[in-house]
C-alpha cells in the first residue's frame, strides 16, 4: 500500500511539472505571436552563440575523430575539420530562417570569430604546450644533451626542404612571394612564420592570409596522418620502438613527499610556469641593424611557455615548494587544450577561407596553393624521415617526435603520443621545435624580402 502511494505521489509531481512547462510554453507562444515571433522566445546573445559553437564543434569533432579506418583515425584533429566546416556553414546566407541568423558570420571581424581565434585558441595553446613541457621536463635535458646536434640538423633539414619547395613555386607561378610565404607558414602550421611574413611585406598582405588559410588544413591533417601511417607502413614493433626511445633518456624517479604542495592537482606550479613562459615569450630581439624598427624575433606564446614549463618540470621544486603537477591533470590539460586550439584555428580558417577566396576572384590560385602547400607538408616529412633514419640513425619514435617538432605541428604531437602510447616522444618534439621556430620565421621574412 505504501509503495502504491509513493508511485501515485511520483506521478502527481510529474503531472504538475508537465502542467507548469506547458503553461510557460503557451504563455511564451502567445507573447511571441503578438510581437517578434519565435525570435522573441529565445535570446541568442553573442556569448550564447559562441558557447553553442564551442561545444557543438567539440562534440561533433570527437565523433568524427573516433572513426577508425584500418587503425588510422583523425583523433583530436577531427575537431579541426568540424570547426572549418561549421566556419564555412556560418558564412552562408540563412535567409529568413528564424534564429539561424544569429550564427551568420560576414567575415573574420565578427566578435564570435575574434573570441574563438583569440582567447579560446590561445588558452588552449597555453594549456597544451604547458602540459607537454611539464611531461617532457624530467627527461628533456638528458635527451637534449645526448641528441642536441641531431635535433638541430633534423629541424634545419625539414624547414629547408619546405622552403625549397616554396621558392620553386615562386618561380613557377606569378602569384608572388607573399602568397607562397603564406602557403609555407600554413603548410608548417606556423603562426609565427605567418606573422613574420606579414611584418616583412609592404604589399599583398591579403595574399599571405589567403595562402595561410588554404594550406593550413592539410598542414594539420597531413602530419597527423603521417605519424600514424609510418609505423603501419613500416610494420614496426611498437613495444621495441618504445624501448629504443627510452634509451634516449632514462626516466627519473623523484620523491616529492618532502616538498610543500598547496593542493593535489598542481595548478599553482602550472600557473607560475605559464606566467614565466608568457614573460619569456614577450622578449623581442632585433635581427637587423634597424633595431626594433626592423625585423625582430621572439619566442612568442608557444616557445616561451614550452621552455618555461620544461624548466619547471625538470627541476621539480623551488626550495621547499613542490613544482609537481598531477599526471592526470596534465593529461586533461593537454587534451582539452589541444581541442580548444584546433577549434579556434579551424573556425576562423573556415570563415577566412571563404572571405579570401572571394577577394582573390578565382579558383586557380586556390588549386595551385592547395597542391603546393600539400607538397610543402609532405616533402619535408619524407626528407626528414630519410635523413633521420639513414644518416642520423634515429629510432622511429625519436624521428617522428622530431618531425612533429620540425613541422611545428602541435596537433600531430598529440596524435603521436596516442599512437606511441608514451609521453616520451614529447622530448624529441620539444628539442626540435625551437630551432624550427627560428628558421621558419627567418625563411618567411627572407622569402618576402628577397624574392
Q: Model confidence over 257-309: pLDDT tens digits?
A: 878 888 888 899 999 999 999 999 888 888 777 777 776 777 777 778 888 88
**Confidence class of residue 141 from pLDDT cuts 50, 70 and 90?**
confident
Q: Is residue 67, in this structure, part of any structural domain at all?
A: no
Classify residue 9: in a domain, yes or no: no
Per-residue pLDDT tens digits for 217-273: 899 889 999 999 999 998 889 889 888 876 556 555 556 687 888 888 889 999 999
pLDDT band per the 50, 70, 90 thresholds, residue 59? very high
260 φ, ψ (degrees, to nearest 5):
-80, 130
pLDDT value, residue 315: 87
Average pLDDT over residues 398-418: 89
How many structural domains does the chain have?
Answer: 1
Put residue 189 in one of left, alpha, beta given phi > 0 → left and psi -120 to 50 → alpha: left
Decide which of 407 and 16 is more confident: 407
Which residues fall within 8 angstroms of residue 259, CB to CB, at 6 or more apart? 316, 317, 320, 321, 322, 324
Give pLDDT, residue 249: 60
pLDDT tens digits, 316-356: 888 888 888 888 889 899 889 888 988 888 888 788 777 77
| Banded pLDDT at 37 (limits 50, 70, 90) | low
Report the distance separating Cα 91 and Cα 334, nearest Å.
Answer: 31
Which pLDDT score is estimated for 6?
66
| pLDDT value at residue 250 | 52
Q: Which three cell numbers stand for residue 45?
A: 546573445
pLDDT at 40 over 60: no
CA distances from 235 to 62, 162, 240 (A): 27, 27, 12
Q: Is residue 98 part of a domain?
A: no
* pLDDT tens track for 91-133: 887 766 666 777 888 877 888 888 888 888 889 888 988 888 8
In a domain, 70, yes or no: no
pLDDT of residue 183: 93
Q: Beta partners for 322?
A: 317
Once rounded to an integer, what is the mean pLDDT over residues 26-35? 64
Q: Is the pLDDT of residue 413 over 90?
A: no
- How confident is the model at residue 256, as a pLDDT? 60
Dist CA 139 CA 148 (whole Å) = 13
Tell whether 317 is covered by a domain. Answer: yes
Helix, strand and coil percent figures for the chain, each rounded to 5:
75, 0, 20
The DSSP output letter for 296 is E
Q: Which long-range contacts (CB under 8 A, 24 or more apart) does 48-51 make?
A: 48/102, 49/102, 49/103, 49/112, 50/112, 50/115, 50/116, 50/120
Q: pLDDT, tens digit, for every residue of 62-73?
A: 999 888 887 778
Q: Which domain holds residue 413?
A: 118-249+259-450
Cβ–Cβ under 8 Å, residues 208 and 181? yes
| Structural domain includes residue 22 | no
As given in the structure block, the three cell numbers for residue 371 are 597542391
Residue-level pLDDT at 168? 94
Which residues neighbour 149 within 8 Å (Cβ) at sequence distance 6 or greater? none
Does residue 187 form part of some domain? Answer: yes
pLDDT score of 36: 59
Say how far apart CA 451 and CA 225 lie, in whole Å. 32
The pLDDT value recorded for residue 208 is 82
Residue 348 falls within a domain, yes or no? Answer: yes
Reported pTM: 0.74
Report residue 284 as a C-alpha cell.
623581442
Amino acid at each position: 500500500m505504501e509503495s502504491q502511494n509513493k508511485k501515485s505521489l511520483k506521478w502527481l509531481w510529474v503531472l504538475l511539472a508537465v502542467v507548469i512547462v506547458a503553461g510557460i510554453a503557451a504563455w511564451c507562444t502567445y507573447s511571441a505571436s503578438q510581437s517578434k515571433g519565435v525570435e522573441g522566445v529565445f535570446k541568442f546573445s553573442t556569448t550564447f552563440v559562441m558557447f553553442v559553437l564551442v561545444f557543438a564543434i567539440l562534440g561533433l569533432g570527437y565523433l568524427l575523430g573516433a572513426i577508425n579506418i584500418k587503425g588510422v583515425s583523425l583523433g583530436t584533429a577531427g575537431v579541426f575539420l568540424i570547426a572549418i566546416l561549421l566556419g564555412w556553414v556560418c558564412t552562408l546566407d540563412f535567409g529568413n530562417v528564424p534564429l539561424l541568423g544569429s550564427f551568420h558570420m560576414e567575415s573574420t571581424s565578427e566578435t564570435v570569430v575574434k573570441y574563438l581565434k583569440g582567447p579560446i585558441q590561445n588558452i588552449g595553446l597555453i594549456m597544451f604546450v604547458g602540459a607537454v613541457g611539464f611531461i617532457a621536463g624530467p627527461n628533456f635535458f638528458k635527451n637534449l644533451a645526448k641528441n642536441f646536434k641531431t635535433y638541430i640538423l633534423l629541424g634545419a633539414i625539414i624547414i629547408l626542404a619546405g622552403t625549397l619547395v616554396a621558392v620553386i613555386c615562386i618561380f613557377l607561378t606569378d602569384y608572388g612571394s607573399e602568397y607562397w610565404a603564406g602557403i609555407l607558414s600554413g603548410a608548417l602550421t606556423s603562426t609565427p612564420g605567418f606573422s613574420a611574413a606579414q611584418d616583412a611585406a609592404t604589399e599583398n598582405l591579403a595574399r599571405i592570409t589567403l595562402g595561410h588559410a588554404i594550406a593550413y588544413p592539410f598542414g594539420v591533417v597531413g602530419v597527423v596522418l603521417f605519424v600514424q601511417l609510418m609505423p603501419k607502413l613500416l610494420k614496426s614493433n611498437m613495444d621495441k620502438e618504445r624501448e629504443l626511445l627510452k634509451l634516449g633518456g632514462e626516466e627519473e624517479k623523484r620523491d616529492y613527499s618532502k616538498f610543500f604542495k598547496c593542493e593535489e592537482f598542481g595548478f599553482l606550479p602550472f600557473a607560475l610556469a605559464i606566467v614565466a613562459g608568457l614573460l619569456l615569450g614577450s622578449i623581442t630581439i632585433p635581427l637587423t641593424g634597424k633595431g626594433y624598427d626592423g625585423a625582430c624575433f621572439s619566442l612568442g606564446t608557444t616557445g616561451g611557455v614550452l621552455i618555461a614549463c620544461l624548466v619547471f618540470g625538470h627541476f621539480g621544486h623551488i626550495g621547499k615548494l613542490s613544482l609537481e603537477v598531477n599526471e592526470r591533470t596534465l593529461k586533461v590539460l593537454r587534451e582539452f587544450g589541444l581541442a580548444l586550439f584546433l577549434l579556434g584555428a579551424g573556425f576562423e580558417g573556415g570563415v577566412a577561407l571563404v572571405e579570401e577566396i572571394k577577394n582573390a576572384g578565382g579558383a586557380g590560385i586556390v588549386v595551385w596553393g592547395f597542391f603546393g602547400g600539400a607538397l610543402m607538408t609532405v616533402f619535408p616529412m619524407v626528407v626528414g624521415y630519410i635523413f633521420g633514419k639513414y644518416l642520423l640513425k634515429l629510432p622511429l619514435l625519436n624521428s617522428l617526435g622530431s618531425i612533429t617538432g620540425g613541422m611545428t605541428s602541435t596537433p600531430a604531437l598529440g596524435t603521436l603520443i596516442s599512437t606511441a602510447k608514451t609521453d616520451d616522444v614529447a622530448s624529441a618534439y620539444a628539442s626540435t621545435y625551437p630551432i624550427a621556430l627560428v628558421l621558419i620565421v627567418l625563411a618567411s621574412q627572407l622569402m618576402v624580402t628577397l624574392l
